[in-house]
Every structure is written in structure tokens, then in C-alpha cells.
Amino acid sequence: MSRRLPLIVPSSGLSRRRFVQGLVAGGVMAGLSIPVLDVLASERKISQGTAPVLRGTEFDLVVDELPVNFTGKPGMATTINGSLPAPTLRWREGDTVTIRVHNKLRQHTSIHWHGIILPYQMDGVPGISFAGIPPGATFTYRFKVEQNGTYWYHSHSGMQELTGMYGAIIIDPAGPETIRADRDHVLLLSDWTDEDPMRVFSKLKAQGDYYNYNQPTVMDFFRDAARDGVGAAFEKRKMWNEMRMNPTDLADLSSKTLTYLTNGITPAGNWTGLFRPGERVRLRLINGTGNTFYDVRIPGLKLKVVHVDGLDVEPVTVDEFRFGPGETIDVIVEPKDDAYTIFAQSMERTGFARGTLAVREGLEASVPKLDAVEWLTMRDMMGAMDHGSMGHGGMAGMDHSGMAGMSMMGGDNMTMMGGMDHSSMAGMNGLAVPSTKARHARTEYGASTDMRVDMARTNLDDPGIGLRNNGRRVLTLADLHTPSGPMDSRGPGREIELHLTGNMERYTWSFDGVEFGQSTPVHFKYGERLRVILHNDTMMTHPMHLHGMWSELETPEGKFQVRRHTIPVQPAQRISFLVTADALGRWAWHCHLMFHMDGGMFREVVVS
């Protein structure tokens, strides 16, 4: 990772496009006494955006703050060893690694090893697996590496992940490499805000769609009226107004506050990965954002997806894929021209991260325009629900009248005790097929929940809003298959159902209408095989991450699909996965959108 000074740019000269794309030389600043001309000269010699690679079994990581400038506005980043992204850690399967983390911050810190199977005391979640690392202290992580593949690590303290504390982990297999490639590049995609993240959070609490650039306009109304008729356009607006919801509220943040980064480099900085014509190039893509779902494509190249969440999958060739915070996807490409753009547009279509694959430094390919914004459909809002059964205010069958105090009920509520447990149903159907009937907890009727989906869809072949029928072959969950099959041949002994819930006006997020501070742990019995159903009662996609254990996604028919550590659940979708509770201890389970996690969509899992 190169350390470099920002260009000196008058603040009044920053156009919005310049702000969105960032500064060419933006990044970690050091050596402030070096003349700017020397910096500009050095920029032409160094390789931008390449994090240091640390190999071996013993590592020292120093957490500190450093000044950064991505947009023309100086800020402070949380860095590891003075680098953003943090150093790439290269381990070998079967080794025992020792990592000493030295905290030079004025606050506690932590490191979570995302997707790594290890003892819970090493998982790095303050308040769950350990107390955190105090200022001035050193904590030593030590564990045996039991897997191989592409992973990453990040802080699990405060907003440090959003301010730069994240890095890649590449684990070499103990035996031969299963994926053949001539060249290997890590692309860690992230996002950056010049605002204090807590200030961003407070704005969202005051107004959930504060950063939404794509509010419906009069021009949208005229477009709909010309296409569908004035009456239909009016009814469409009336419906959304009655629901007090916004059909373009696809993400909490946008380029109004975010700058999108590839390996710590802004779009204007143009991270470049080199190749020779004829090479098979492996791109290890990691979504290390605090908030952003990216839709990734390389115009002119097919993407052969070979590895997801650290595990090989049966190869599938696509033009594009969407992935959210926490997910990793490895693809093989075979470039033949001199330069290609790696284009990662944000799901809400206000900005993009980008890089270039090229035969030499300095080359660029054309950058696509952002796709048009699409509105959420009623299917996204209500799944398979009959629209005529909508209740009070048009809200997906939920009557809010007289319900305000009901979230305080349920001390004996099964959800408050860790999820709706349906193990008693085993004798009726053997739990061979996941249940499809929604079982709403009583705690969902309250101020923390603004909608409820009664008939969620269960299909896995939907690429998601903005990617349907776009003329490109887009990856879906239904395309992914782990060739080695399930880890455990047993069927589930019981079924737990949890609902992903929220209230956009209050900007609260929860499981079953219960925010983390009011919830009790979910209990798994050590050694058991169980099914977990996640039912999304919100209008947003949530990347759900269960620490410590693999989540084995299944089809609606109960057939094994793919092993994951982070599973995206779309609006009004109901998915299920099997878990073997083979890891004793206390574990975190949460949405990996940072403000959703902090807003309450977080639970503790206890395996005992």
C-alpha cells in the first residue's frame, strides 16, 4: 500500500462528479513536509492501492489513526500498520497463527476474522467473545487455520470498520490448489464517508431516507402517466403514500455521503491490476463496505465464478453479480484486449467503485454509465401476498391500531427466548421440507416494526431489484453449488424461525421486532443439526452473518444448495439453511450493514 499526500485542490472547485469520484491521489497521508511536486513525481512511480502482504505464522498488527483525504476534505482513518486497506495476511491451511494486535487508539478496538472457523474466544467480538482491546494494550490471537480460500478481517468495535479498519486474508491450501490461474489479484471494495459515522447514524435516526438521491419526482409521474395512464400513475403514488414508504429506498446511504473505493483507491485514482494476454486471471473480490451492495461486471469479459465465501463452487459463467457487505466472490477472467474496466455500481445507482485490468500501467477502458434506478415492486414489498388482503394503511396485512404497546409484551414469548422453535413439528412431517407459513411473533406488533409479510417468496433465482431482465446474465443464489455437498448428512432435528424486522421512520432494526438490547440469546444444542428460517419483513436486502459456524443454504424443497458464511436475504423473501452446532461458546449473529447492526439487528447465539 502506497502512502501518499493528497493533491491540493481548492474546496470551491470540487464539482459533484469530482466529489463522487474522489481525488486521483487520495488516500493515507504521511510525511506532510514533503513538497507536493515530489509527491506528484512519486505518484507516477509507485503502484497505487496495493496493501502490504504479510506471510508466515507470527504477525504484529498496530491499530492507529492516520489523516486521509479522498475527496478534498481531510479526515481521520482507523488504520492497521499505517495502511488502508490493512495488510493482506497470507496464511497456510494447517498452520497455527499468532497475531499480536497493539492498540494505539484512544478507544477500545478489536479484530474479527470474518468466516474463519476458530474457538469463540478468538472471534473478536467485544461483549460476546471477549472484552475488547483497551487503549495502549496488546491482545494475542492464536488459533489453528482449518480452512483455505479468500476471507477478510475487520474491526468489530464502534464504527472503526467504516473508517478504514479492514483487510484481506488469503489462505493457501495444504495440498494442491484447486483453481488454476496464472495471476492473482485481490480487490477489496469498500466505502468511505467524510462525515463522522455517528453523525450519519443520527441523521438516519431522524430521517431514514435522508441520503436518498432518487426520491420520486414530478417527471417520474409524467413518465408513468404517459406509459400507464394518468389514473394508474395516480394510484401508484397514492399506494406508496398510504404505506408511508419510498419505492426508491434501496439503501440507507448513497454518494451524497459515500465515496466508493477499490483497494483504498477512488474511482478517479483508478486502481490497476496487470496481466499478460492469454493469462487466466483470478480476481478475489471482497465486499468490505460498511453499507454498500455492489453490482460488479467487467464489460467485454465473462466472469467464471469459482469460489464464494472462502469455498469452491461448481463453476458458473455470468456477466454480473451482486454482493453485499461481508461476502467474497472469486472469479476467473481471460482478458485479451489491452484494458478492461472493473465496474462496481452501488445498488441504489448513485455511484461506483472501479478499477482497470491492463497490460501496463496508465491504460484505461471506457467506464459504463450507471444503470437507471428501478422502483421496488409490490412483490418486493409483499412477496406472494394477495394485494387485496392489505391491512390498515396498506401495510402488508398489519393493523397498527392499538398495537403501540405490544412490543413490551411477551416475557413468555418464544421469540424473546431465542426464536420460534418448531421442534415439536418433527413428528408431523420430519422437517424434510422447510415450512412456508409465516409465524409472526407477538413482538412484531409494535413500534419497532412498520410492515409484515405474510406470504413471503422462497425462490432463490432472483438477482434482485435493478438486475432483473437487464440483458446480462446475472448470478443468483440458485446458481451456486458446493461440490463437496453438505458437511453433515443428518436432517434437521428442529426448526427455528426468525424474522428480519425494522421501522424506517424510526430507523430501528431487529429480529422479530426485538432490538439487541432487549433480546435474549438464541440457544443451539452442541452437536445438533437444525434448520434456521430467515423471513424478511422489510423492504431492504440484509446480508446475514452467523459467526463460528457454516450456514448451509437449502432449496425450498429442502435440498442442499451451497455453504456460506454470509447470506443475503432480499425483501419479502423467506430462506432456510441448516447448521451443525459444532462450535461451543458465544457467537454473534447480525446483519452486516453496519447501521442495521448498530440499530438493533444483532443477536447472540449460545452453543452449549
Three-class HEC string of 161-208:
CCCCCEEEEEEECCCCCCCCCCEEEEEEEEEEECCCHHHHHHHHHHCC
pLDDT for position 41: 32
- For residue 509, the domain's CATH number is 2.60.40.420
User: Which phi-psi region, left, alpha or beta, contains residue 393 (left: φ > 0; alpha: ψ -120 to 50)?
Assistant: left
Does 242 fall in a domain?
A: no
Higher pLDDT, 33 or 210: 210
Q: In sequence order, what are the beta bridge partners of 151? A: 169
pLDDT for position 30: 55
Does 499 fall in a domain?
A: yes
Whether the predicted pLDDT of 54 surpasses 60: yes
Contact (CB, 8 A) for 111 and 131: no
The number of folded domains in the chain is: 2
Three-class HEC string of 401-426:
CCCCCHHHCCCCCCCCCCCEECHHHH
Last residue of a domain, one of 144, 177, 210: 177
Can you tell me the distance from the alpha carbon of 283 to that of 297, in angstroms, rounded to the nearest whole number?
A: 12
Can you tell me the distance from the alpha carbon of 353 to that of 266, in angstroms, rounded to the nearest whole number?
A: 7
Does 386 fall in a domain?
A: yes
Does 295 fall in a domain?
A: no
pLDDT band, very low/low/confident/very high, at 236 (cuts 50, 70, 90): low
HSE at residue 359, side-chain half, CA atoms within 13 A, is 10
Report pLDDT digits (tens) over 398-443.
332 222 222 222 222 333 334 566 544 443 456 899 999 999 999 9
**Average pLDDT of the residues in 68-79:** 95
Can you tell me the distance from the alpha carbon of 346 to that of 102, in angstroms, rounded to the nearest whole number?
A: 34
Last residue of a domain, one of 124, 150, 177: 177
Contacts of 275 (CB under 8 A, 6+ apart): 183, 281, 335, 357, 358, 359
Find the helix or strand (DSSP H, E) in which 237 lies: helix 230-243
Does 278 fall in a domain?
A: no
Higher pLDDT, 222 or 420: 420
pLDDT for position 562: 98
Does 591 fall in a domain?
A: yes
Last residue of a domain, one of 155, 177, 199: 177
How far is CA 387 from each of CA 222, 486, 504, rounded to the nearest angstrom? 25, 38, 21
Query: Measured in whole angstroms, how far is the alpha carbon of residue 238 from the centre of its chain?
Result: 33
Contacts of 81 (CB under 8 A, 6+ apart): 52, 61, 62, 87
Find the helix or strand (DSSP H, E) in which 65 lies: strand 58-69
| Of the ranges 279-293, 370-384, 431-445, the best mean pLDDT one | 279-293
What is this structure's pTM? 0.85
Lowest-pLDDT range, 12-26, 76-90, 191-205, 343-357? 12-26
Cα-only R_g, the chain:
24
**Average pLDDT of the residues in 188-196:** 97
Contact (CB, 8 A) for 511 and 500: yes
User: What three-state secondary structure class fits 42?
Assistant: helix
pLDDT for position 24: 84
Does 452 fall in a domain?
A: yes
Lowest-pLDDT range, 3-12, 155-164, 432-441? 3-12
Whether the predicted pLDDT of 307 surpasses 90: yes
Its domain, for residue 506, covers 378-607
Does 197 fall in a domain?
A: no
Find the helix or strand (DSSP H, E) in which 99 lies: strand 96-103
